[in-house]
A and B are shown apart, each in its own frame.
Chain A
Amino acid sequence: MRSHVKLSAVVATGLVAALAGCGGTSGPATGSGGGTNTAASGDCSSAEVFCVGLVTDVGKVDDKGFNQAAWEGVEQVKGELGAQTKYVETTDPKDYAKNIKQFTDAKYDVIVTVGFLMADATRAAGKQYPNTKFIGFDQFQADPVVPNVTGLIFHEDQAGYAAGFLAGSMTKSNKIGVVLGQEIPPTQAYAAGYENGAKAANPAVSVSKVYHPAGNTAFNDPVWGAGEAKKMLAQGADFIFGAGGGTGNGALQETAKTSGAGDKVFCIGVDLDQWDTLPAAHPCLITSAEKHEKDGIGELLKQIKGNTVKPGNFFGTAGISPFHDFDSKVPADVKTKVADVVKKLEDGSLATGYKP
């Protein structure tokens, strides 16, 4: 019996050790996408080497969502700026500060932190390391601003409005739905924009919306999202907007499986063009409410490199993605109207009615 105790202890320790070995959270910048210029790994503390570090929100850089978009944005301008890039993936919200510190310790020039939930940790780090520039992705900077922290903000309500306008114009049942992650300002903005956009196109439309109840799994619960989409579809909705990371993806996948998907029932992706990232949703994915995140990150990095960056908030653009295979299913007059709405939102002549 004794030997059994020892054996199982050894087995367990071995497994845990193996796990620690392979489950490490920091990964080197593997040249995904256009990062051709792999600058010789220099010392980030020297002035010549421009180092950009990225800390993800809980999730991975291939999450088909905003972490991926942020990382791709960094990689997109890497060559042009001659930057050296690296990311750290957060697995637990408690590690935000610790993960940022990995980059400040290595004297990185710019640190990108992804997600609204990391706002406090980013501002704290900004105050502590005044010589490092921070980009807070999705982090609205309220006064007083920290001089070296710039929030990269998108008008989610504008993207949601454009998507809602499309759904409102095309719905036959006058019922549309939206499945969201946790109730935080970005999701609230998407929901409000979607609802107002739909009503602007079609006053008779009714919008059902639902937020994920739990905190820690709210953006990573596709099964719940699928269940909610199923319920909305059964109650007559013919457009489902999935806006909440993995949770929203579940809603899109469920819509894609419904009978009539792509003919009578459609779904709308979120954050980036999900046509490229979520093939399982192709049967219904008419468009995505898109924040032009890659371009926003690239633009800000260029500003930092050129020393023209301003503290406070930088607004990236938002709109909807191409229709891809659904191009022929969207009536021409709807296309014109939606394009007009996007244009008016961008130049500020149309308000979405969302108050942050």
Chain B
Amino acid sequence: MEWLKRNQITVGAGLVILVAAYVFYAVNSNVATSMFSGAWFFAVPLVLGALTGVVGERSGVVNIGIEGQMLVAAFAAFFSAAATGSLIVGVLVGMLAGIAMGAFLALTTVKGLMDQIIAGVVINIVATGLTSFFYRPGKVLSANMPQWEVPLLSKIPLIGDVFFQSGPIALFALVSVPVVHFALFRTRWGLRTRSIGEYPSAADTAGIDVIRMRLVNVTIGGIFAGAAGAYLSMEATGGFERGMTAGRGFLALAILIFGGWRPLRVFAAALFFGFTNALASQLQGVISIPQQFITLLPYLLTLIVLAVAAGRVRAPAAVGQPFVKGEGS
């Protein structure tokens, strides 16, 4: 009850959207399902990328290298899957590539005290260069990623079709959101993570090893960007193309802020963005105004929502500041 009272606006808005979605579904189930599916299809890499950002920034490390992490992972996942003929190997290698890139960011910024923005830029540039250089055309996956149907849940009208009949990485994203949310706000690890992102010297005084924790979190957080990369090259399409992330890593950063550094809100924000995107392409050719105006829609709506509802988001206080033991902050 207490929780309901505090979150009445969020819950109310959520209910209104849910009812609207089902009204739409009742009017034209085919178009509604395809549009919401399109929204989730578009949102999966944004959610995963933003989760990497959540884990890193909650620990106090800005990560603008998500784009590069995703790109390297997409590359590594596709080519290892094509070479070994095993999809599982591909996905795992993709995740490991994300972790490796995360480790690079962690070592240079947390251990080496390099500027976090510069380290992120380095990751993006290196990723573009390496993946373009080593790219070889003409490789094909031995099989398509499977489509999984979650028992029972996939039978729910609309929601089941959209979320519970999808590939393994999309389902991984769906599970990761509540897991990371719970871990961040309900576990000891989460409390410590938030404390080293807000006030590291206090956390240090309380006996938390800030350096080690940041190293581990930023490294492990790369698993989500890695999964996002594998999603792009293996699940969403069937091949790697140069620069195929097409700015999704940066979009994930925007989603991270839009979602206030909270996994559940990040999920909602990504879905919202995905839906406006699906709406814009659906309206192209239906409404006879130049498509450039229609394609402004996602950005315009995001701007409005940011200005009206999300104006109060606050970044973790110590984000971007390197921690040096004994020097305070």
Chain A residues within CB distance 8 Å of chain B: 1, 4-5, 7-9, 11-12, 15-16, 19, 22-23, 59-60, 62, 64, 183, 208-211, 213-214, 217, 220-228, 230-231, 234-236, 246, 249-250, 253-254, 256-257, 277, 279-280
A225 to B122 CA separation, bound complex (whole angstroms): 29
A194 to B241 CA separation, bound complex (whole angstroms): 26
7 contacts between A and B (CB under 8 A): A9-B114, A23-B133, A60-B132, A60-B242, A213-B280, A223-B237, A223-B248
What chain A residues lie within 8 Å of B41 (beta carbons)?
Answer: 226-227, 230
Q: Kindly list 20 other residue pairs between chains A and B, CB separation below 8 angstroms, not including A223-B45, A280-B239.
A: A4-B113, A12-B122, A64-B137, A211-B284, A211-B291, A214-B247, A214-B295, A217-B247, A220-B241, A220-B243, A222-B244, A224-B42, A224-B246, A225-B237, A226-B41, A227-B41, A246-B242, A246-B244, A279-B140, A280-B238
- Of B30-38, B51-59, B88-96, the one contacting chain A is B30-38
What chain B residues lie within 8 Å of A227 (beta carbons)?
Answer: 38, 41-42, 236, 278
A221 to B282 CA separation, bound complex (whole angstroms): 18
A20 to B304 CA separation, bound complex (whole angstroms): 41
* B window 66-122: CB within 8 A of A: 107-109, 111-114, 118-119, 122
A4 contacts B111, C-beta separation under 8 Å: yes
A220 contacts B242, C-beta separation under 8 Å: yes
Given the known A-B contacts A230-B38, A230-B41, A235-B31, are A222 and B112 also in contact in the complex, defined by CB atoms under 8 Å? no
In the complex, residue of chain B having the shortest beta-carbon distance to the beta carbon of A279: B140
What chain A residues lie within 8 Å of B291 (beta carbons)?
Answer: 183, 211, 213
Given the known A-B contacts A183-B291, A222-B241, A234-B30, are A210 and B284 also in contact in the complex, defined by CB atoms under 8 Å? yes
A253 contacts B238, C-beta separation under 8 Å: yes
A280 to B81 CA separation, bound complex (whole angstroms): 14
In the complex, residue of chain B having the shortest beta-carbon distance to the beta carbon of A8: B112
- Whole-angstrom distance between the Cβ of B284 and the nearest chain A Cβ: 5
- Whole-angstrom distance between the Cβ of B45 and the nearest chain A Cβ: 7
Kindly identify which residue among B33, B137, B246 contacts A234, using a CB–CB cutoff of 8 Å. B33
What chain A residues lie within 8 Å of B242 (beta carbons)?
Answer: 59-60, 220, 246
Kindly identify which residue among A230, A235, A249, A280 contacts B140, using a CB–CB cutoff of 8 Å. A280
A12 contacts B237, C-beta separation under 8 Å: no
* A interface footprint on B122-145 (CB within 8 Å = 1, 0 otherwise): 100110111011000110110010
- Whole-angstrom distance between the Cβ of A56 and the nearest chain B Cβ: 12
What chain A residues lie within 8 Å of B45 (beta carbons)?
Answer: 223
Kindly identify which residue among A221, A253, A279 contacts B246, using a CB–CB cutoff of 8 Å. A221
B236 contacts A226, C-beta separation under 8 Å: yes
In the complex, residue of chain A having the shortest beta-carbon distance to the beta carbon of B118: A12
What chain B residues lie within 8 Å of A210 (beta carbons)?
Answer: 281, 284-285
In the complex, residue of chain B having the shortest beta-carbon distance to the beta carbon of A232: B34
A-B pair number, CB within 8 angstroms: 144
What chain B residues lie within 8 Å of A22 (beta carbons)?
Answer: 129-130, 133
A226 contacts B237, C-beta separation under 8 Å: yes
B132 contacts A208, C-beta separation under 8 Å: no
A226 to B170 CA separation, bound complex (whole angstroms): 15
In the complex, residue of chain A having the shortest beta-carbon distance to the beta carbon of B127: A19
A11 to B138 CA separation, bound complex (whole angstroms): 34
- A-B pairs, top 9 by smallest CB distance, nearest first, are A8-B112, A213-B295, A234-B34, A23-B129, A217-B246, A19-B129, A221-B246, A8-B114, A246-B241
- Whole-angstrom distance between the Cβ of B94 and the nearest chain A Cβ: 15
B17 within 8 Å of A by Cβ? no
In the complex, residue of chain B having the shortest beta-carbon distance to the beta carbon of A22: B133
A208 contacts B241, C-beta separation under 8 Å: no
- Whole-angstrom distance between the Cβ of A240 and the nearest chain B Cβ: 14
B129 contacts A222, C-beta separation under 8 Å: no
What chain B residues lie within 8 Å of A11 (beta carbons)?
Answer: 108, 112
What chain A residues lie within 8 Å of B285 (beta carbons)?
Answer: 208-210
A319 to B242 CA separation, bound complex (whole angstroms): 29
A253 to B144 CA separation, bound complex (whole angstroms): 10
* A interface footprint on B270-304 (CB within 8 Å = 1, 0 otherwise): 00000000101110110000011001000000000
What chain A residues lie within 8 Å of B122 (beta carbons)?
Answer: 12, 15-16
A137 to B273 CA separation, bound complex (whole angstroms): 37
In the complex, residue of chain A having the shortest beta-carbon distance to the beta carbon of B33: A234
In the complex, residue of chain B having the shortest beta-carbon distance to the beta carbon of A215: B292
What chain B residues lie within 8 Å of A253 (beta carbons)?
Answer: 237-239
What chain A residues lie within 8 Å of B133 (beta carbons)?
Answer: 22-23
- Whole-angstrom distance between the Cβ of B73 and the nearest chain A Cβ: 14
Kindly identify which residue among B144, B238, B278 contacts A231, using a CB–CB cutoff of 8 Å. B278
B220 within 8 Å of A by Cβ? no
What chain A residues lie within 8 Å of B130 (beta carbons)?
Answer: 19, 22
Given the known A-B contacts A12-B108, A19-B126, A227-B38, are A220 and B141 also in contact in the complex, defined by CB atoms under 8 Å? no
B179 within 8 Å of A by Cβ? no
B169 within 8 Å of A by Cβ? no
Given the known A-B contacts A1-B324, A23-B132, A226-B236, are A209 and B284 also in contact in the complex, defined by CB atoms under 8 Å? yes
Kindly identify which residue among A12, A19, A228 contacts B281, using a CB–CB cutoff of 8 Å. A228
B112 contacts A7, C-beta separation under 8 Å: yes
B232 within 8 Å of A by Cβ? yes
In the complex, residue of chain A having the shortest beta-carbon distance to the beta carbon of B290: A183
What chain B residues lie within 8 Å of A235 (beta carbons)?
Answer: 30-31, 34
